[in-house]
Structure 1
Amino acid sequence: MLIAAMVLAILLAVAVLAVGVPKALALKTAVDQTVGLGLDLRIMRLTGVFEVLGGVGLIVGIAGEWLGIAWAVWLGVAATVGLVVLMVLALGFHVTKRDPVQRMAPSAVLLVLSAAALITRLMAM
């Protein structure tokens, strides 16, 4: 179970860093998408920062597991919980905006991946 938890954590870290960095840095692609959603750019950047912090927290948790550092493992768990909450909020935002499924899909996929990573990690402890 630990290997599955680590694989899911790595996939999730890569995914949230890939979507979070452009938002945090306010790159053109992220800004264009955000304007289309009607979301304030400050909220977009804050969301990106949270996603980047979650990804870094996951990486620290993985490293902590390999190195036997308990606090780092728990930081990874906390980061995963934070990402689950963030994706629930993101999905809720899309639902309240009545966005089409295509716009909801990335948040939904990241929510499922975050939840799977959290469940497998807790089961491996």
Structure 2
Amino acid sequence: MSRGDKSAYSDKQKRKAEHIEESYEAKGVSKDEAEARAWATVNKQSGGGNKSGSGTQKSETAKRADRKDSARRASATKHGHSPNAGRASSSRGRRGSTSLSDMTRDELMKKAAEQDVHGRSRMRKDDLIKALS
């Protein structure tokens, strides 16, 4: 499908885009901008044109998890960290490690509770590491 080709969209998606476009034009947005915003909205809501085959569309829960993971990785990259730094793929990767920085915030909270660290509920991960060190 070439860019701008709407043939892969369902009739319902086309109607939705047209309705959104009309809404934007009524608010004074230019025709080109209104069309671009309308299709962007349809794409965001439905994931693009029709998908063929069974099981190709993700559930809302899976989409939400993917967005959350993507946001976490983007934030880590923005702050100069490797997206998976300090985060093992599963708890088995952390079992043998005693380093505080390898622990999750929840694990640090449990350890802080055991040591009765004052003010732990308001602490961030870095603060918990300092308090436990």
Report which structure shows greater RCO (CA 8 Å, sep ≥6). 1
Same-fold call, TM cutoff 0.5 = no
Q: Is the helix fraction higher in 1 or 2?
A: 1
The two structures have a TM-score, normalised by structure 1, of 0.26
